Chain A
Amino acid sequence: MSKQRKRKQKYSQGLWRLTIERLFRQRSGIAGMIILGILVLIAIFAPFIAPYDPIEPLIGIENIKKREKPCIHLLGCSADKPQHIMGIDGNVRDLFSRVVYGTRVSLFIGFITIGFAVVVGVFLGTIAGYSGGWLEDVIMRTLDVMLAFPFLLLAIAITSVLGPGLTNAMLAIAIVSIPAYARVIRSSVLSVKEEEYVSAARAVGASPIRIVSQHILPNALPPLIVQGTLGIGTAILEAAALSFLGLGAQPPTPEWGAMLSAERAQLFSAPHLVFFPGLAIMITVLGFNLLGDGLRDAMDPRLRL
């Protein structure tokens, strides 16, 4: 028994090492890791990077007006003025500091929502795939109905039931994301279920829980990780969209979608207030997409797009 486990561990270590080796040979994987690495550092060290408080207005602290244009000393902004590289927002706050703190919010949103969706999705997908029968029908048809609604529409509907707010928006996105993971896991389970080693495990009397956790899930992991990485990007995008529509993060939370939404009407007079938060969203989502693509190529060359 212990010998078997040891061999299994060795095998799975091999898979991970191979994946990481392949990932480092990939342009998109490396680019994604660099972008996300920087973003994670920004999120961790936000208080040291941000020159100002993200929420407190600068009224009375500095002599500046609201929605002032970016002032960068290197680009010829006179040195006696305080430097604000992304300008000042409508509530007289340093936009750069808010964008920096926004990294925390967005990464948090991405990881938590997809974490939740993966856990629930894996649970439902495994039950559906492993048990079969009416239980599978009920689960899969319910998920089909969820997929009959466009993603954002369903998220908006759920948020409107729960009430606006960041937590509810995250919950809505998590719920809407569940079908994708449940389906990935179910199809993996279905393909692995008939393998001989699973029959063998069943023959020696392994419990269903053991078979699922020891034999089926490890094999279903690669597509799940790829899907999850890409899903984090989508979740961040959708959360920003919900916040943009006023259903997600509420002011004064430094969330990029909400920041953009707050200054939308000032697009023509203060475009920088719309430009920078959006750029931040794009770079973050790009990071996850690149890493997801890289992981897909590294983990399973057959899935290559």
Chain B
Amino acid sequence: MLKYTLRRFVAAIPVLFGVLVVIFILARVVPGDPCTAMLGEKATPEICERFLHEKGLDKPIYIQFMVYVGDIFSGDFGTSIRFNRPIVDILIERLPLSIELGFIALVIASTLGITAGIISAIRHNSYVDVSTMVLANVGVSMPVFWLGLMLAYIFALVLKGTPFQLPPSGRLSPGMKCIPFYEVYDWNLVPDTFAYGVSEFVSNMFIFNSFITGDWIVFLDAIQHMILPAVALSTIPMAIIARMTRSSMLQVLSLDYVRTAKAKGLREIRVIVLHALQNALLPIVTIIGLQLGTLFSGAILTETIFGLSGVGKSLFEAITARDFPIIQGFTLVVAVGYVASNLIVDLSYAFFDPRISLE
């Protein structure tokens, strides 16, 4: 197991190196020159020359690349052109939102998807099965941005005044404030240290932060704001997971040992959960892992629609505003996260199916 884990880590290194190269190249071929982008009207040739020299942009391209890689490894992602703030600070501020959104969407997609898939498989070819699969097909075909807007219209306008009314944008209602847990518990953190950064990061997950500080009003408000984006984001993965669960379960349910288990007189729920589902999980886990990319692509659109300043929306705005350091830093974080999560999915195979020895 350890050997396999190490080997997979080593195999991921060339991919990550490639990712670095691609991001480095992309940021340099995006039209527009960084000097005029940053200094605007003030950019005279002399000032530009000094600017390029200061930023090391007049050095040969391979030295620039080595400096870039060196900076990344020392945790320096550069400074945003637009906000004039370190990228790391912006990440600490915005990544937690996306993680929360993605996590909740994935939980919704997995629980509902797997449940729907199991029910479909048990009632194979029934009315329930057919309608679930039709719904799943419609779910995969829906544009995320359209679904998000339609949900916003229904829950914020049509259902206005009913208990089902939900806010269509933002993270918290106006006037609400999520007090960081380290302030509530009087932790004396020194700004600009690693511990401060981590605490700040955690406290920016509003739902989690308000949960551990016991601030239930903010907790409920944050959840209410998260429902619509998370549901919109979860639809496509949910449909895909439901389909995979159904087909995987159908295959397992037809096997001999399931019949034996039923013949022994075990309760159906026990047969389904302990005998069938456990063995059907492998392809389901794979497909859930593959949904992370879908989730991220969806997050760009969902965050834009629901006015949430997460990684997706920031990245899109940075690309349109030519804010190269943000593009580089955020894309790198997303790509590394994506590669890492795929690695975790691969490693989890041994856990879900002991027959795979990974050697």
Contacts from A to B (Cβ < 8 Å): 28, 141-142, 144-145, 148-153, 156-157, 160-161, 163, 233, 237, 240-241, 244-246, 257, 260, 264, 267-268, 271, 274-275, 277-279, 281-283, 285-286, 289-290, 293, 304-305
Q: Is the CB of A305 within 8 A of B293?
A: no
Count of B interface residues, CB-CB < 8 Å: 49
Q: How far is the CB of B329 from chain A (nearest CB, A)?
A: 13
Q: Is the CB of B293 within 8 A of A151?
A: yes
Q: Is the CB of B331 within 8 A of A289?
A: no
Interface residues of B in 18-52 (CB under 8 A from A): 18-19, 21-22, 26, 29-31
- Residue B202 at the A interface, CB < 8 A? no
Residue of A with least CB distance to B20:
A145
Provide 14 A-B residue pairs closer than 8 Å at the C-beta atoms, listed in order of the A residue.
A141-B15, A144-B18, A145-B21, A148-B16, A148-B18, A152-B301, A157-B26, A160-B319, A161-B31, A268-B153, A268-B157, A271-B153, A278-B146, A282-B138
Q: Is the CB of B149 within 8 A of A278?
A: yes
Inside 8 A of A244's CB, which chain B residues have their CB? Answer: 143, 145, 301
A237 vs B236: C-alpha distance when bound (angstroms)? 12
Count, A-B residue pairs, CB within 8 A: 130
Q: Is the CB of A289 within 8 A of B19?
A: no
Given contact pairs A161-B29, A241-B297, A285-B140, enumerate 17 new A-B contacts (beta carbons under 8 Å).
Answer: A144-B15, A149-B334, A150-B334, A151-B297, A152-B296, A153-B331, A157-B319, A161-B30, A163-B31, A240-B143, A245-B300, A257-B145, A268-B156, A278-B142, A278-B150, A282-B141, A285-B142
Q: Is the CB of B153 within 8 A of A267?
A: yes
Inside 8 A of B94's CB, which chain A residues have their CB? Answer: none
- Residue B171 at the A interface, CB < 8 A? no
Inside 8 A of B138's CB, which chain A residues have their CB? Answer: 282, 286
Q: How far is the CB of A225 from chain B (nearest CB, A)?
A: 19
Q: How far is the CB of A170 from chain B (nearest CB, A)?
A: 17
Q: Is the CB of B304 within 8 A of A245?
A: yes
A-B interface, 9 closest residue pairs, ranked by CB to CB distance from nearest: A278-B146, A145-B18, A152-B297, A286-B141, A285-B141, A150-B296, A150-B293, A160-B319, A305-B247
- Residue B244 at the A interface, CB < 8 A? yes
Residue of B with least CB distance to A230:
B140
A275 and B150 in contact, given A282-B138, A282-B142 (Cβ under 8 angstroms): yes
Q: Is the CB of B297 within 8 A of A145?
A: no
Interface residues of B in 108-164 (CB under 8 A from A): 137-138, 140-147, 149-150, 152-153, 156-157
Q: Is the CB of A142 within 8 A of B18?
A: yes
Inside 8 A of B293's CB, which chain A residues have their CB? Answer: 150-151
Q: Which of A278, A289, A304 is within 8 Å of B140, CB to CB?
A: A289
- Residue B81 at the A interface, CB < 8 A? no
A156 and B300 in contact, given A241-B145, A274-B149 (Cβ under 8 angstroms): yes
Residue of A with least CB distance to B14:
A141
Inside 8 A of B57's CB, which chain A residues have their CB? Answer: none
Q: Which of B141, B243, B301, B316 is within 8 Å of A305, CB to CB?
A: B243
- Residue B218 at the A interface, CB < 8 A? no
Inside 8 A of A145's CB, which chain B residues have their CB? Answer: 15, 18-19, 21-22
A156 vs B294: C-alpha distance when bound (angstroms)? 14
Q: How far is the CB of B142 from chain A (nearest CB, A)?
A: 5
A156 and B140 in contact, given A150-B296, A305-B247 (Cβ under 8 angstroms): no
Q: Which of B146, B294, B327 is within 8 Å of A274, CB to CB?
A: B146
The winner among B146, B150, B339 for most chain A CB atoms within 10 A is B146
Q: How far is the CB of A92 from chain B (nearest CB, A)?
A: 22
Q: Is the CB of A289 within 8 A of B153?
A: no
Contacts from B to A (Cβ < 8 Å): 14-16, 18-19, 21-22, 26, 29-31, 137-138, 140-147, 149-150, 152-153, 156-157, 243-244, 247, 293-294, 296-298, 300-301, 304-305, 315-316, 319-320, 327, 331, 334-335, 338-339
Q: How far is the CB of A152 from chain B (nearest CB, A)?
A: 3
A153 and B29 in contact, given A28-B137, A281-B143 (Cβ under 8 angstroms): no
Q: Is the CB of A278 within 8 A of B338?
A: no
Inside 8 A of A156's CB, which chain B residues have their CB? Answer: 300, 315-316, 319
Inside 8 A of B144's CB, which chain A residues have their CB? Answer: 241
Q: Is the CB of A153 within 8 A of B146?
A: no
Q: Which of A148, A150, A151, A246 is within 8 Å of B320, CB to CB?
A: A246
Q: Is the CB of B297 within 8 A of A153?
A: yes
Q: Is the CB of A282 within 8 A of B146?
A: yes
Inside 8 A of B301's CB, which chain A residues have their CB? Answer: 152, 241, 244-245
Q: Is the CB of A153 within 8 A of B300?
A: yes
Q: Is the CB of A289 within 8 A of B141?
A: yes
A149 and B30 in contact, given A274-B150, A278-B150 (Cβ under 8 angstroms): no
Inside 8 A of B294's CB, which chain A residues have their CB? Answer: 150-151
Inside 8 A of A150's CB, which chain B residues have their CB? Answer: 293-294, 296-297, 334, 338
A161 vs B28: C-alpha distance when bound (angstroms)? 9
Q: Is the CB of A257 within 8 A of B143?
A: yes
A288 vs B22: C-alpha distance when bound (angstroms)? 32
Residue of B with least CB distance to A142:
B18
Residue of A with least CB distance to B295:
A150
Residue of A with least CB distance to B339:
A148
A260 vs B29: C-alpha distance when bound (angstroms)? 31
Q: Is the CB of A160 within 8 A of B30?
A: yes
Residue of B with least CB distance to A271:
B153
Q: Which of B137, B150, B298 is within 8 Å of A286, CB to CB?
A: B137
A245 vs B300: C-alpha distance when bound (angstroms)? 9
Q: Which of B22, B143, B149, B335 is within 8 Å of A237, CB to CB?
A: B143
